[in-house]
Structure 1
Amino acid sequence: MMDSQENTLNQGTPEENVVSENTAKEVEEPLSHKVYKSKSEIIERLKEIVSGDENPQKDEIDYLKTSFYKIHIAEREAKQKEYLDAGGNPEQYIVTPDEQEEVFKAEMSLIKEKRQKLFLQQEEEKQENLKKKLEIIEAIKSMATSPEEANKSYSKFKELQQQWKEIKAVPADKANELWRNYQLYVEQFYDLLKLNSEAREYDFKKNLDLKTGLCEAAEKLDQEKDVISAFHQLQELHQQYREIGPVVKDLREQIWARFKAASTIINKKHQQHFEQLRAQEEENLTRKTALCEQAEAIAGEDNKNAADWEKHTKAIIAIQAEWKTIGFAPQKMNVKIFERFRAACDNFFGKKAQYFKQLKEAFAENARKKEALVEKARALQDSTEWKSTSDKLIALQKEWKTIGMVPKKRGDQLWNDFLTACNKFFEARNAANAGTRGEEHANLDKKRDIISQLKALAEEKAENIQEKVQTLVDSYNQVGHVPYREKDKLYKEYHDVLDKLYKELNITIAQKRLDTFKSNLKNVVKRGEDALDNERGRLMRRYEGLKQEIITYENNLGFLNASSKKGNSLIDEMNRKVQKLKDDMELVKQKIKAIDAENQNQD
């Protein structure tokens, strides 16, 4: 039966299915699109669609949108490159708005409205066509009740068949069921047709000839090189096959099997073609998704300076160049993935424009601050208040360092003006203080001579070395200031040699004191039994006193800030005092041990 044949085909794989007469026209295939060379051409095509009677196809609309933004981005990149090649500052480049993009968006909005309106109209027409075809089926059904009724209604039946062919699309969800019912009652009508057997046999033979021709045409499509064209031609053949009435019952399955076999070959080629195409499009989508992620990651970076922006701008441009080498993604994702990529790029360049706008404002503010410092320096450049003005200019120089950058050309000019004013004052001050510097250099020579004498004493084992050291120290302290740049170096050299001398002197003196103390213990014993204990008690009190004093000094050291040169000098001096106290405490400790040893001898 014809309906069973149609059901068999419709139950195949999606590419093998023979769609109904209205859905066949709705199968969307990639079209060969015109190559547009400018945004103006694309906008003109959009205006044609808006003003014309044609139904805007989604495939073409998506293609126009993709083509427009490809050209749009390429033009934007070209403008930026032209600006940079002409010597423009990349930090000051700002993307300008595109009026054509606004026109494009407006036309696309109108097309969207038009597509919606046409869709509603088509749906109304399909519902009306469904109603008409249902009425035709009911009419044929009423004729296919008996041979007599069929013979009597043959002419009317032929008219209904012609009307059926003239009625076009119906709702897609009703199409197959509608066709099956139509074929069922048409076959029932022919099977009941008895009296006019000659007419019936003529129809059967004519239908067989037509369907045989369609089988031959379908079989020849196997030689067609263009798979897409072959598939579309096959859809037309199926449309014609469905419009042809039945053949003699014994040949119905046979002729359908032949047509189906030829259709299967073309459908499989079509399926393989689109499987390969979809695989490539999926790969393209994967690559484009990765580029979107890279662009989004770069757009989300925290750019701290112009160098960061320049580095990331080059990275974005490289990603855009790679994007252009990749083909289309699947149709349902092609526009979405492009819009995602464009959004990431626009986000990056929008942030860049905002950054350099703020940077420009900051440059202007920094320039105003530096101009104010230049004016202050100029106001002080002729002053003869050497000390106070020096302090003020040094403070201005420190403040200058806290102010951010300005454009190089302007910054160099401001720095030259500021430096000129400062130099004018310091050169005048230096000329006035030339005599003072001569005296400071003479003092430097005197102190270096004293340090040399101290170093010589450190190598000697002479008598009265302590007195000699003290004499040199007194002489050193009486010498006046030395040049500022030499002060710290001289201070370190002087105290290094003093530390060495005092360390050796303390050891020598301490040993002498201990020996003297031990030799005097006999005299202490002679003063009475409690004399040694009294002396030991006195020394213990002295020991604890020294210990507590050392703790106090060490605690104070913990609170000192050694970040300045002055702080370092104070810390060094206190460390020397602590060491002297520790040496004294050690001497007291040794004296206590000497008393303990003498007590044991007395026992």
Structure 2
Amino acid sequence: MNTEMDNLHNADGENNSNESTKNDLNTESYKTNESNNQEESNEITLKDYDTFSFDVLIDEAKNLLSKHDVQDIREHFNQIRDAFKNKLEKEEAEKKKAFLEDGGNEIDFRYETSYREKFNVVYNDYKNQLSIHHKQNEKKEDENLAERLAIIDELKSLYQEQNDSSSSMFKKFRELKTRWHNAGRIPAKNAENIFKNYFFHLDNFYTYLDMNKELQTLDYAHNLEVRYSIIKRAEELINEPNVQKALNELQYLHRLWKEEAVPVQEDLREPTWLHFKELTNKIHDRKGELNEKIKQEQKDNLEKKNEIISKIKSINESVANKSHSEWQKAITEINTLRESFIGLGRVPKDKNAETWDAFKKETREFNHIKNDFYKSLKSDQQINLEKKTALLEIAKQHAESTDWNNSVAVIKKIQNDWKNIGHVPRKNSDKIWKEFKETCNKFFDRYKKRHEQDNEKLEQNFEQKTSFLDKFKAAQISEDKDQALKELQSFKSEWNTLGKVPSDKLAINQEFNSLYNSKISDLNLSKAELNDYELQSLVNKVKANGNSSMLDDEIRKTRKNIEELEKDINQLDNNVNFFSNANKDSPLLRDVFKQIDEKRKKLTEEEIKLKTLFNIDLND
């Protein structure tokens, strides 16, 4: 039966085939509140991110992530990421140029900034949230697929079994159509077959409906009521103040018409459709309002930005003979104007490059004049020389140090401080830089050779472990199980405090572990007893130390073990599926089942351990 969808138009007034109508249905539920959500996402303003400072870019990214759904901010984050990368590259080039002009050697140049790490934290948070969103979507699509398959089965049985009265059958049919309408997106690979199957049985039902006049009358009446409700809402949307909201909801109404408002009795089909189509055209005529609003906003932004550029230009023309305090006021004013410029939205596309270039020209001019002014202040350069001299003295104090961790931190800090001090008198620049670099290099040359001393310590550790192992071999362990466990645990704890040994002598650790395991085996403990003891020993150790970081580390390790065990079990279960026709007594299959059982037991032990760790009260 023709369901009248062939004559329908989509919300922008173009013809739409029955096939495309079916494909359009494979979307998330088009409810009114979801249309409003789409409206909100459309209103996220794209800004001139290239004009933002590092701090503003990071704050903008945080703000987007906290206030909007992650799937709605992809374009914004990509633009922010690109702007951030370009700004980093530009600043690195400028820093390198200044470094070389200050007498530095290109091979010694290092560009470090805390902004990179701060931005990466936000961007990684965004990627993690996006990954979670995709996983949730996949799970939801699988649930929707199961729901749609169930609906098809129920629709099929509705007209094939015919066990209900006409009114009851009609009620079930309407419920099935509503459920189908609200079922949501399914995996793309299943979409075509599922929708073809649904419409096949839907047409079969309508064929049955043609033969049952009572059902047909009920269906026509219901669909006509839906049409009138859609038309009423479309009439209200003509006066909706928010044009974008009206257009979004109109899309929903057209989909509702296609899915819930066909067919109706023949003499009402064309009049109701023409009325709805007329309302659609009126709403679409309002697109011009939206476009004009956007154009006007961009025009206003252009005027405001040009005004800011003019103010910066005026400041540039008046600062030539200013005092230091007056310069500070001018810098504050420029920063305020700059933030205002950045905070404004887009301008007309054909004016964007021109406006941005004019802004950069005037701000660079201001910076150039400012730099010339401060470079002329010899007193500041003398202060910088005194600061760098002080850093040189600190470097000399640590040049012969063996307190590696502390001295490395100090040397790196003063190197970073050196970069931030600024210019010194030219006659001193090369000399002090050369002496500072040589002093730092002297320390780092010694730092690279520190492992020679570390090797001596490793040899000492080996000698101590050899002596301790002999002691452990000769030790008489108590015959009482509880006392024996405490004694063995004491040996193991002391062993762990003896430190690392040379890499070519690691076998001594294996020898100790083998002897320890052998003595444990001699106690004839059950697996459960041993696990309980080890777990209780861990709990006692954590409580004794009262160290929350130790507890957190154990929880993290246990979680990781659980994840790996679950992954291994799933993989083994999948492997078993490949042997569905194999003899279950085959050695290969028995080995797989054995591995699965062992890992499941281990998984249970780790889950008990995790639960126990969570229940530890360090204040108890």
Query: Normalising by structure 1, what TM-score?
Result: 0.37
RCO (CA 8 Å, sep 6+): is it higher in 1 or 2? 2
After TM superposition, the score normalised by the length of structure 2 is: 0.36
Structure showing greater radius of gyration is: 1
